[in-house]
Amino acid sequence: MILDIMLKEIRRKKLRTALTILGISIGILLVVSINSFAQGISIMVNSELNYISGLVIVIDDRVGLQNIMSSEIDESLADEISQISGVDEVAPIVYTNVHGFGNIIGVDPEHFEMFSSAHVGLDEGREVEKDAYELDLGYKIAEDLDLVVGDKIMIKGKEYEIVGIFKESGKEDDNTAITSLSIAQEIAKKEDKVTMIMVKPTNINDVDEIANEIQRNYDGITALSDKEAKKRAEEIVNQINIVTFTIGGIAGLVAGIVIMNVMIMSVRERRREIGIMKAIGATNTQILFEIILESISMSLIGACIGLFFSTFSVAALNSLMKTNMAVITPNLIFSAFLFALVLGVLGGILPARQAEKLTPVEALRYE
């Protein structure tokens, strides 16, 4: 009986119900779309940091991991670090972005094994040669620009040959191209400068000691062991999560107020009906349950619609930004439904309490 009454009430004021569900849908759409970036960043950071296990990263001390492209340190520092006892290999790297193309990373071929994209593996073609105007493309760049091995492309007035295409990884590597260090320096206009230096110790157990020695001996840089880099990255992700959940919370609060307002109006309009239900034996618990169930139903319907459209929103954002940064994870979907459930309960509980307190005599007087 309660389900029948709930469905009847949802259908009775179709326009008002539709507008309420629309408001919830927009709230969920905003929550999911915004938080998809936090989820994507978290996945990307954790994935990329797996590749630096046992390595030391050296960057400009004026920047953090979140804006590493702004880092700029002297290339000559790599030679000095290579002389430190216990250092096995040093790879200077340039990381830049070209508008309309994507990310470009410059690293000399002898250091490819230290760099993340090398672990993906080439799907076709070969690795770039040192100091050659050549590019190995990430899967998505090649797909978006419709490029194959042997094609030529102009970047900042220079012609580059596509010599290899990486396998699809489903990570940020797909949006990244690799070229030789000197070529990336030319593209980024960083003559004798690099973005970061990756250091491989002879003994993996010495990574913290080497990071500390580099930090002590050189000014203007930050040397991070893999553990410290992961710690800082987690702090950045947590900060992003706080911001996104705050924005999402505001959207949710608005959606909750909409539900509560609609349910209060619904209870006021149905006083006589509620009185009749109580007069024929309906308990306060049944009345309370029916009102809250109605609120939850509209909220969950709105969540389904919001999630459906958020998939298109996230895909559009990724396409516009030429990245796979935004990701809708199962955890985010579960959180969205849980969020909608909480909204439904909170939005319906006050009106339900008002309905519960109505006496049959008082309610039957209402016209």
Residue with tokens 């009454």: 5
| SS3 call for 48 | helix
Q: Is 109 exposed, middle or buried (0-12, 13-18, 19+ CB in 10 A)?
A: middle
Long-range CB contacts (within 8 A, 24+) of 111-115 = 111/198, 112/178, 114/55, 114/89, 114/198, 114/200, 115/51, 115/91, 115/178, 115/198
Spatial distance between the Cα atoms of 53 and 63, rounded to a whole number of angstroms:
22
Map out the domains of the chain as residue ranges.
2-45+235-365, 62-219
Digits of tens for pLDDT over the chain (367 positions)?
A: 555 555 555 566 677 777 777 878 888 888 888 778 777 776 666 655 655 667 888 888 887 666 777 788 999 999 999 888 888 889 999 988 888 788 899 998 888 877 644 456 888 999 999 999 999 998 888 988 899 999 999 998 899 999 999 988 777 777 889 999 999 999 998 888 999 898 888 887 888 888 888 888 888 888 887 677 677 767 777 777 777 777 777 777 777 777 777 777 776 666 666 666 666 666 767 777 777 787 888 888 888 998 898 888 888 877 776 666 777 888 888 888 888 888 888 777 777 776 666 665 555 555 4
Residue 255 identity: A
User: Who's near 63: CB < 8 A, 6+ residues apart?
Assistant: 70, 71
DSSP state of 179: E
Separation between Cα atoms, residue 182 and residue 179, nearest integer Å: 8
Question: What stretches of 83-149 show up as alpha helix (H) in DSSP?
Answer: 139-144
C-beta separation of 115 from 138 below 8 A: no
Give the pLDDT confidence score for residue 118 in this predicted structure: 46
Pairwise CA distance, residues 317 & 120, whole Å: 25
**Smallest Cα–Cα separation from 323: which of 37, 96, 47, 106?**
37
Amino acid found at 73: I
Query: Residue 360 carries which side chain, given as an amino acid letter?
Result: P
283-309: burial string, b at 16+ Cβ within 10 Å, e else = eeebbbbbbbbbbbbbbbbbbebbbee
Please state the separation of Cα 28 from the chain's center in Å: 16
The reply to whether the predicted model has a pTM over 0.75 is no
Residues near 304 by beta carbon (within 8 Å), at least 6 away in sequence: none
